[in-house]
Amino acid sequence: MLPYKTLIQIDRNSSVNIYIQVCNNFVSLITNGTLQPSDVLPSSRVLADLIGINRNTVKLAYEELISQGWAESVERKGVFVLSKLPVISKAKIPEPNKSHNQQESFIWTNHFSNSIPSTNFQKTGLRIDDGFPDVRLAPVDQLMREYRSLSRKFYGKNFLKYGSSKGSEHLRISISNYLSNTRGLVASPDNILISKGSQMGIYLTAQLLLTIGDTVAVGVSNYGYADDTFKHSGAKLIRIPVDENGMDIDYLENILRKQIIKALYIIPHHHFPTTVTLSMERRLKLLNLAREYRFAIIEDDYDFDFHYENKPYLPLASIDHNHNVIYIGSISKTFAPALRIGFMSGPPAFINAAASLRELIDKQGDTLLEDAFSVLFNNGEMERHFRKSLKIYKHRRNLFCDILETDFKNDIEFEIPEGGLAVWGTFDKKTDLIKMSQNALKNGLHIDNGLFYKNESFDKNAMRIGFASIDENEIIKAFEILKKSL
């Protein structure tokens, strides 16, 4: 007989009934091959004595096994493992302290074996990020108040049912008005899709636009996750230089004369990572080229709301009269990154297709949260938040850049950004950014090591250093540590 005294483990503090625990133990013994079809189980009296439980409890466990189809009772003979069950080879017990190099249990293709895990920014501590909003400024209490208020209302219960894969109708109406008032972008609510942040918008767009072998034009320096998304779709990337006036559209034109480009991804307003803005002359030429060569423009406008010196240029989508632009924006980047709310707009048929694709991976968003955001847009709370944040971020930017100019003049080259939440800093060639990041961490400061911004065509000793998410005292303290770390 098997050593049931050690094989059947009972936890008397568990909320699971003991007879269910016994039943589950037997199921494990059957499925791992320890017990084979037609094997006899110990009598209820013997098992009860072995594991120290009531005999009736064992009887209940056996009845449960039988009812689930794992065992059968033979009159005057006892309880047996069901004879019809397939024979299962006994699982091998791995040797202790031995690495697991066994072959995969099933065949699959891992396209992400070299991917670097995302940084967990939720860990506490002093951090210079690459340009996130200060979540302490976000009116989260007001958002949660509206969330609770909507959930308590009778009609609010409908929010718990399935809704449109395009997202909350109320928020789409609010976003439509918001885009019209702030960007001059005319997009009907039906022509807007609410996404889980701008990254979902990029992914949906790539899946609809691209097939294996298609070519996408991107900046020599570019948002790495966008590059990876396009590559995952099977597309080839062609790099377009970026200078102080944004992407070089003349260079793009020469490329278009030689080969077909399916789409172009661009961040014309505060290019990532370098923060430069695409000039109006280049914007108009890009739209003309898109119309002539029939390629899509994927416009990522993740931080339009943060511009400090003068009114920002209108998005490409606002002056696109030929419907070449797919416009992607984010509330997460301006409110709080963990609250995943973004939006996209484009040709009607394209947005409808994006909604259908979204249903395959994520039926819909959080309708109640989306409606709560809609209330904040409608009652002016979002506008007040943007005005307040803009004033604070401008003050932080000025202090940040003053310290860079004074204390890091020989270490970091930079231009004062007109907008956005970060400075693009080019470090002295002698500075090892990886070692600098490691030294800073030892001294209590989390700062990036610059690897995220590099690609096969871009290898500058540079990185984005964000000023928005830390207050004045934190900026001073962070730079004191950074100076030591250099």
Buried b / exposed e along 309-323 (16+ C-beta atoms within 10 A): eeebbbbbbbebeee
- One DSSP character per residue, 55-119 reads HHHHHHHHHHHHHHTSEEEETTTEEEE-TTSPP-PPPPPPPTT----PPPSS----TTTTPPPPP
**pLDDT tier at 121 (50, 70, 90 boundaries)?**
low
Give the separation between CA 475 and CA 473, rounded to whole angstroms. Answer: 5
pLDDT score of 142: 92
476: amino acid identity, one letter: I
Q: How confident is the model at residue 65 (pLDDT cuts 50, 70, 90)?
A: very high
- The sign one gets for the Cα dihedral 426, 428, 430, 435 is negative
What mean pLDDT do residues 149-175 have?
81
* pLDDT, mean of residues 128-132: 92
Whole-Å CA distances, 171 to 160, 174, 175, 343, 369: 16, 5, 6, 10, 10
The CATH architecture of the domain made up of 126-132+384-485 is Alpha-Beta Complex (3.90)
Parallel, antiparallel, or unpaired: how do β-strands 422-427 and 412-413 relate? antiparallel
| Least trusted range by pLDDT, from 90-104, 384-398, 412-426 | 90-104
**pLDDT tens, 326-356?**
999 998 878 887 888 999 999 999 999 999 9
Task: Give the Å distances, CA to CA, from 320 to 100, 219, 286.
Answer: 56, 21, 10
Q: Per-residue confidence at 449, pLDDT binned at 50, 70, 90? A: very high
Report the pLDDT value the prediction gives residue 94, as an integer from 0 to 100.
53
Kindly indicate the confidence band of residue 364, based on its pLDDT and cuts at 50, 70 and 90.
confident
256 half-sphere exposure, CB direction, 13 A CA radius: 21
Residue 161 in this model has a pLDDT that exceeds 90: no
Residues of the chain with CATH 3.40.640.10: 156-380
Q: Hunting for tokens 């002295």 — which residue is that?
A: 428
Q: Give pLDDT, residue 395.
A: 96
Q: Which pLDDT does position 328 carry in this prediction?
A: 96
C-alpha distances out from residue 15 to 19, 64, 82, 170, 298, Å: 12, 18, 29, 43, 53
CB contact set of 455 (below 8 Å; sequence gap of 6+):
221, 222, 224, 227
Alpha carbons 76 and 429: distance in angstroms, whole number? 86
Instruction: Tell me which of 92 and 355 has the higher pLDDT.
Output: 355
Strand partners, 413: 426
- Rounded CA separation 456/450 (Å): 14
Q: Are 238 and 455 in contact (CB under 8 A)?
A: no
State residue 221 phi and psi, 5-degree precision: -100, 135
Does 123 have pLDDT greater than 90? no
Read out DSSP for 175-235?
A: HHHHHHHHH-----GGGEEEESSHHHHHHHHHHHH--TT-EEEEESS--HHHHHHHHHTTP
Of 334, 354, 306, the residue nearest 195 (C-alpha) = 354
Residue type, 333: K
Residue 102 pLDDT level (bands cut at 50, 70, 90) = low
Q: Taking residues 451-460, what's their average pLDDT?
A: 93
CATH, domain range 4-81 = 1.10.10.10
Q: Can you tell me the mean pLDDT for 432-445?
A: 94
The tokens describing 204, both together, are 């949906």
130 contacts 465 by C-beta, under 8 angstroms:
yes
Residue range 370-374: mean pLDDT, rounded: 92
| Model pLDDT, residue 338 | 81
* Residue 280 CA from chain centroid, whole number: 31
The reported pLDDT for the residue numbered 152 is 79
Q: Is the pLDDT of residue 96 over 90?
A: no
CATH 1.10.10.10 residue spans of the chain:
4-81
CATH of 156-380, one of 3.40.50.720, 2.60.40.420, 3.40.640.10, 3.30.1360.30: 3.40.640.10
Mean pLDDT score across all residues of the chain: 90
Unique residue bearing structure tokens 């109708």: 169
C-alpha closest to that of 209 among 352, 355, 350, 361: 350
Averaged pLDDT for residues 151-167: 74
Residue of 393, 423, 392, 391 whose CA lies nearest to 408: 423
For position 414, what pLDDT does the model report?
A: 95
pLDDT at residue number 150: 83
Is the pLDDT score of 424 beyond 90?
A: yes
Interhelix angle 348-361/198-209, rounded to 10 degrees, is 110
**Which residues, including other chains, have CB under 8 Å from residue 233's CB and lie 6 or more apart?**
206, 207, 209, 210, 211, 212, 214
pLDDT number for residue 154: 61
Query: Which range among 66-80, 91-105, 128-142, 221-235 shows the weakest confidence by mean pLDDT?
Result: 91-105
List, in sequence order, every residue forming a beta bridge with 195; answer none if it has no partner: 342
Q: What is the pLDDT of residues 272-305, one digit of tens each?
A: 999 999 999 999 999 999 999 999 999 999 888 8
Identify the three-state secondary structure at position 254.
helix
CATH 3.90.1150.10 maps onto the chain at 126-132+384-485
Q: What is the per-residue pLDDT for 405?
A: 95
